[in-house]
């Protein structure tokens, strides 16, 4: 059964009601809600823990700019993100990660003076060393080696997506640790400075599991340093803080996580801990709003076909969940000469305009009496939503974008 969307903020509700049908679908962001959420996250984290934003979650320039006062930097995972984030938040520290970096991207990162490289393979290490010698021979380059660490205690079992702890193309195998440390300390790569270890092992972990994983990563890094008698000063423990689409009012426990990180930081006074969440920072500030075009009965079930679909909001299709949503019944008289379609029962499956049965946004939404022309607003649409969607499939128009309460009215968004 679909859960209702987190309470619509007044600003979002008013904007959705005010839009004409042909201005839908629309992404509506509540920037004040975003700032409040970020202030809460920042306040829950100990001072010694650095917060980077994984730009892949939502790289809208307005979002990146709104995050700036609350984050220490941004994690980017391609040359495209590098250029885009560098332009949206000039002078912000950037960490360049991601598997499969091309020589052109590494060169671009060196030229832009990226502060941290998250190196994912021995091949990449050699490539970076060689390009640095050619393009930035005077500079020391800070490197964090990304490892796919084993986590044996079951903490990854609850994750929605695991990038580590099992065979994946992400990061280095722990068996390569000796080789990597040697390359970075025996003069083979004289410009590269091994600052620390990076790991991002899973998505969708709650605070207790995140803490267990964080502790495992930090312990592994400390043991590596002790074993090789090297100094490591930074450990990135990744993102992946849970967002529960089935219970959107229940948020990741940043307070408990922050308290646990404080204990971990105290136990390792020489280390800077860094986290790089994406989803849990921006998911809650975005809504995808649209209208019901038609309500149909098919083999005993009812379907509401909306204007738009998963080509704008692919999240429920990729994650296999029902996107939480709220119905705003239309108060306007039906404007057409033909009859208005309406649901007969209580539960409706909400689908989009694409010619595929996979274009489902939410199943069994309690929406008795839902009618064509009513508005549907999908919540938790501020991360991995528009930017991961297959926009061009079927060539429907793109949605509008509204940034309510943007910090600088008239600059990039709307007041």
Ligand X SMILES: Cc1ncc(COP(=O)(O)O)c(C=O)c1O
Cα gap 90→301, rounded to integer Å: 52
Q: Which stretch binds ligand X (CB under 6 A): 213-221, 270-278, 298-306, 333-341?
A: 270-278
> Prior bond to 25 cis, omega within 30?
yes
Out of 279, 363, 371, 375, the only residue in the binding site for ligand X (CB under 6 A) is 279
Output 252 or 306, the one with its CB closest to ligand X.
Answer: 252
Alpha helices in 89-145 (DSSP H): 103-112, 122-135
Are 236 and 97 contacting, i.e. CB atoms less than 8 angstroms apart? Answer: no
325 is catalytic: no
Smallest gap from Cβ 210 to ligand X, in A, equals: 10
Is residue 57 a contact residue for ligand X (CB under 6 A)? yes
- The residue annotated as part of the active site, out of 189, 285, 325, 355, is 355
Out of 97, 316, 352, 413, the only residue in the binding site for ligand X (CB under 6 A) is 97
Residue with tokens 């598997």: 99
Q: Cα 299–303–305 angle (5° rounding)?
A: 140
Output 58 or 108, the one with its CB closest to ligand X.
Answer: 58
Is residue 240 a contact residue for ligand X (CB under 6 A)? yes
Chain Cα centroid distance, residue 376? 23
Pattern 15-54, ligand X, x by CB under 6 A: ---------------------------------------x
Coil, helix or strand at residue 19 = coil
Out of 241, 305, 343, 354, the only residue in the binding site for ligand X (CB under 6 A) is 241
Is residue 239 a contact residue for ligand X (CB under 6 A)? yes
Q: Which stretch binds ligand X (CB under 6 A): 6-14, 22-30, 273-281, 307-315?
A: 273-281
Output 200 or 251, the one with its CB closest to ligand X.
Answer: 200
Q: Which of 315, 415, 413 is nearest to 64 (CA)?
A: 413
Supply 415's token pair: 């007041």
Q: Which stretch binds ligand X (CB under 6 A): 274-282, 304-312, 313-321, 397-405?
A: 274-282
Supply 351's token pair: 């689908």
| DSSP conformational letter for 283 | G
Coil, helix or strand at residue 39 = helix
Instruction: Give me the torsion for CA of 159, 161, 163, 167, rounded to 10°.
Output: 90
Smallest gap from Cβ 75 to ligand X, in A, equals: 5
Output 243 or 343, the one with its CB closest to ligand X.
Answer: 243
Residues tagged active-site? 355
Q: Could you list the residues that contact ligand X (CB under 6 A)?
A: 54, 56-57, 75, 97, 200, 203, 238-241, 276-280
């Amino acid at each position: 059964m679909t859960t209702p969307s987190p309470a619509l903020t007044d600003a979002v509700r008013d904007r959705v009601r005010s839009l004409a049908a042909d201005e839908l679908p629309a992404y509506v962001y509540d920037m004040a809600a975003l700032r409040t959420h970020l202030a809460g996250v920042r306040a829950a984290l100990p001072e010694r823990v650095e917060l980077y934003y994984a730009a892949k979650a939502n790289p809208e320039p307005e979002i990146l700019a709104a995050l700036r006062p609350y984050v220490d930097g941004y994690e980017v995972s391609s040359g495209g993100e590098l250029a885009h984030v560098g332009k949206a938040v000039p002078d912000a520290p950037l960490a360049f990660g991601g598997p499969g970096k091309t020589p052109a991207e590494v060169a671009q990162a060196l030229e832009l003076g990226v502060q941290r490289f998250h190196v994912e393979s021995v091949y990449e290490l050699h490539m970076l060393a060689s390009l640095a010698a050619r393009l930035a021979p005077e500079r020391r380059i800070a490197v964090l080696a990304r490892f796919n660490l084993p986590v044996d205690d079951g903490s990854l079992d609850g994750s929605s997506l695991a990038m580590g702890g099992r065979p994946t193309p992400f990061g280095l195998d722990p068996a390569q640790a000796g080789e990597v440390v040697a390359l970075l300390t025996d003069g083979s790569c004289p410009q590269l400075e091994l600052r620390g270890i990076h790991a991002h092992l899973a998505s969708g972990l709650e605070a207790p599991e995140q803490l267990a994983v964080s502790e495992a990563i930090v312990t592994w890094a400390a043991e590596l340093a002790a074993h090789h008698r090297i100094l490591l000063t930074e450990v990135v423990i990744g993102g992946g803080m849970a967002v529960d689409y089935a219970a959107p009012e229940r948020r990741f426990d940043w307070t408990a996580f922050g308290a646990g990180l404080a204990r971990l930081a105290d136990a390792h006074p020489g280390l800077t801990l860094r986290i790089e969440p994406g989803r849990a920072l921006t998911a809650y500030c975005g809504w995808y709003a649209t209208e019901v075009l038609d309500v149909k009965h098919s083999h005993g079930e009812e379907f509401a076909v909306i204007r738009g679909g998963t080509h704008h909001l692919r999240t429920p299709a990729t994650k296999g969940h029902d996107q939480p949503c709220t119905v705003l019944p239309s108060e306007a008289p039906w404007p057409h000469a033909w009859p208005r379609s309406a649901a007969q029962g209580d539960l409706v499956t909400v689908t989009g305009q694409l010619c595929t049965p996979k274009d489902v946004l939410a199943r069994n939404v309690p929406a008795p009496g839902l009618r064509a022309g009513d508005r549907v607003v999908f919540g938790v649409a501020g991360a991995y939503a528009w930017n991961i969607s297959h926009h061009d499939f079927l060539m429907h128009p793109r949605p509008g974008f509204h940034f309510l309460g943007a910090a600088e009215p008239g600059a990039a968004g709307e007041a």
